Amino acid sequence: MRTAAWGIVAAIGVWAAGAASAGDLSKAWMGEVTVDKVNVRAGIGKNYEIVATAKKGDHVIVVEEQSGWCRIVAPAGVKCWVAKKFVTRSGKNGTVSADRVNIRSHENTSNTSYVLGQLPKGATLTLLEERGDFVRVTPPEATAFAWVAKEFLKNLGSYEAARAELDAAVAAKKASEAQSIAIVKKYEDAQLEERRIDGQPLDVQDFTAVISAYRAVSADKSAGDLCARAEARLKDLVPRQQALDEYHLTLVAMRKAEAEHAQKVAELTAPPETKYLAIGMVDSFGKLLNDPGATHKLIKGGKVLFFLKSDQFDLNKYLNRLVGIQGVLSDAPAGWEGYRIVTITSIEPIGVPAPEPAVEEGR
């Protein structure tokens, strides 16, 4: 016996032209051809017309046994003809308009045009060609049949079991195909993102997400060539990202040093504080459980001078900058004793132009 998946697909997908729904196949069994070539006939016996041939290893669905012959679901290659007058057409499809309509082996009603089955009213058909008063259709679902000598068939077990195996095989194949599509898309998306990042300045380049995507592709051994290509990209990108990480750390340290130097210079060149209530660096509170009643603080020499708040100015614009402030003093709320709050009425950066005050809506 060939592999189960091949055998079932051959039987249902090639030989049994869709034998799932119309006829009763609960007692049917799957047969495998055991000789190089066997004739499929329109009836029991060698005197009946040959309507198809099967080769060794092909599978058929057997629905009945009689006198050493097996009645099988008509293979896909069997020509099936139906009288046009009983078919309501709609493009390449048709619907049977009467009950017990004969399916014939030829496009006529002569003695040599054998009846292969009968169609119920409402049955749907796929139309292939028209000839005279007849139309050729694909073998209808489990309503067109033919015969094969039983001696040339091996019983492989019930059709329903084979059908269940087929459904499982089809589901597995679809899942595999979906996985393949997903892994291809992941690789292609990683390529596009890599190209986009390549065009950015060095100080903002970060290939971490791209590396993660390539690793996912390389870990999927079913990805075939994509797996090897992803591994090749990782060999290039991983050391590159390590170098970028070191560069970013150095850059952050340099910028911090520059900011600290600028602060010291500004402090040394700052005018006398008589113009201001205080001079210092603006910092934010961040998230605190105990609300200090302010949004920012003024720091000098590592110490907090005042808490700051303002409805007039966006204090975030002055973060980490040396400023001079004026405002109204008040005490901090409970839990913050010893600190005072300045409600700012004016704020000026020392040594650089001041940003414009926030403009209220409607002005």
**3-state SS of the chain?**
CCCHHHHHHHHHHHHCCCCCCCCCCCCCEEEEECCCEEEEECCCCCCCCEEEEEECCCEEEEEEEECCEEEEECCCCCCEEEEHHHEEEECCEEEECCCCEEEECCCCCCCCCCEEEEECCCCEEEEEEEECCEEEECCCCCCCEEEEEHHHEEEEEEHHHHHHHHHHHHHHHHHHHHHHHHHHHHHHHHHHHHHHHHCCCHHHCCCHHHHHHHHHHHHCHHHCHHHHHHHHHHHHHHHHHHHHHHHHHHHHHHHHHHHHHHHHHHHHHCCCHHHCCEEEEEEECCCCCCCCCCCEEEEECCEEEEEEECCCCCHHHHECCEEEEEEEEEECCCCCCCCEEEEEEEEEECCCCCCCCCCCCCC
Name the CATH superfamily housing domain 1-77+140-179: SH3 Domains (2.30.30.40)
Whole-number pLDDT of residue 25: 76
Whole-number pLDDT of residue 103: 94
At 192, the amino acid letter reads: L
The pLDDT tens digits along the chain (363 residues) read 333 333 333 334 334 433 333 356 778 999 999 999 999 999 999 999 999 999 998 989 999 999 999 999 998 889 999 999 999 999 999 999 999 999 999 999 998 899 999 999 999 999 999 999 999 999 987 789 999 999 999 998 888 887 788 778 888 888 888 888 999 999 999 999 999 999 999 989 999 999 999 999 999 888 788 999 999 999 999 999 999 999 999 999 998 899 888 888 877 776 655 679 999 999 988 777 778 889 999 999 889 999 999 999 999 999 999 999 999 999 988 888 889 999 999 999 986 554 444 444 433
| Domain residue extents for the chain | 1-77+140-179, 79-138, 200-249, 273-349
pTM for the whole thing? 0.45
Q: C-alpha distances in angstroms, 330 versus 41, 278, 290, 307?
A: 106, 15, 18, 10
Whole-number pLDDT of residue 352: 53
Count Cα atoms within 13 angstroms, Cβ side, for 254.
Answer: 7
Whole-number pLDDT of residue 273: 52
